[in-house]
Amino acid sequence: MEEQKTRNEKLWKIIDPGVSYFKRNLGILIALLLMMAIVSCLSNNFLKGSNLLNILRQISTNTFLSFGMLFVILIGGIDLSVGSLVAFSGVMVAYGLGVWHLPLFLAVLISLVLSTLVGVFNGGIVSKTGIHPFVVTLATETIFRGVAMLIAKGAPIRITNKQFIKFGTSYLGPVAYPIIYAFIIMFICFVLLNRTKFGRHMYAIGGNRVAAKFAGINIDKTETMVYTISAFLAGLAGIVLASRMTAGVPAAGTGYELDAIAAVVLGGASFTGGVGTVGGTLIGAIIIGVIANGLNMLNVASFWQYIVKGIVILLAVLIDVLRKKRKTQLDVKKIKGED
């Protein structure tokens, strides 16, 4: 009897984190399923396997950015530079291959390193000077959009390297490589957030910055690492996108930072920091993809997508504010009850 009880306790320790994770994302998951049901009723082709895989392929770039943005928002920050870094890294790898005639590995490495250094710069300026990350990353967004335009002279740089093109266009069975990359990154981010000291520090900083400092957490170091990871993922997204487009396009990534923010907020993260999950962010990215795909299938003008995304973001933030207000009211009632 005692042995059976011990086995049950061990089994529950394994199952409980998954159950808790599912509960935290239940609301957004229901919203996704409801949205998919509505679109499928309006379009017979929506639930076809090929279309669902197409949605995942289309959102793969956004998921790269969204997981990086999740880290930034968890510490109470924001990163507006990721869209321009998508263009910058794509242009750099195309320039390295087409103009400098570098080996594939070296061209990719240089592009990634330069993109990552932008994140180091963002994090360093934010943590050392106290300038709001909105201002810092808005400045770098503008700077590196301009740098991409200068390098490419305002026009796409064609890529003819077949090996590089396969990197973003090949398939493993029916599954496109970018989908596989996205799930690998998702797993790594999940481990970082939930199984490492670095992840705990992010939640602590976002939850209460002052308490985190008194707890001995190196806020400057953590903050710099977070912006570095965000920039690295943006650079990687740009390289994959350039492979898919077979060109480094200086105008690529325009507005991508808004899609990433929308995915994170829809996934249940709080703009004030300390709240958010990788699973919720993935669901948020899928919702953005379903909206775009559904409107396209219904032959709705693409301009409506911007309106719908804006409304969705506003509603998600409003829900977060109302949820926090309700929590504060409950906490006040508990304190009064104790008194």
Per DSSP, the residues of 171-220 read EETTEEHHHHHHHHHHHHHHHHHHHSHHHHHHHHHHH-HHHHHHTT--HH
pLDDT at residue 2, as a whole number: 59
Q: Which residues of 279-303 are buried (b: 16+ CB within 10 A; e: fewer)?
A: bbbbbbbbbbbbbbbbbebeeeeee
pLDDT at residue 14, as a whole number: 44
Does 12 have pLDDT greater than 50?
no
317 three-class SS: helix
pLDDT in tens, 133-173: 999 999 999 999 999 999 999 999 999 999 999 999 999 99
pLDDT in tens, 73-124: 999 999 999 999 999 999 999 999 999 999 999 999 999 999 999 999 999 9
CA pair distance 239, 167, nearest whole angstrom: 9
Nearest to 290, CA basis, from 58, 70, 68: 58
pLDDT at residue 313, as a whole number: 76
Does 231 have pLDDT greater than 50?
yes
One-letter amino acid at 176 equals A
CA pair distance 72, 206, nearest whole angstrom: 9
Q: What is the dihedral of CA 53, 59, 64, 65, to 10 degrees?
A: -170
What is the model's pTM? 0.90
CA 176 to chain centre: 19
Does 339 have pLDDT greater than 70?
no
pLDDT in tens, 159-169: 999 999 999 99
Break the chain into its structural domains and give their ranges: 60-305
CB 312 within 8 A of CB 284: no
- Catalogue the E-assigned strands of 48-116: none
CA 21 to chain centre: 18
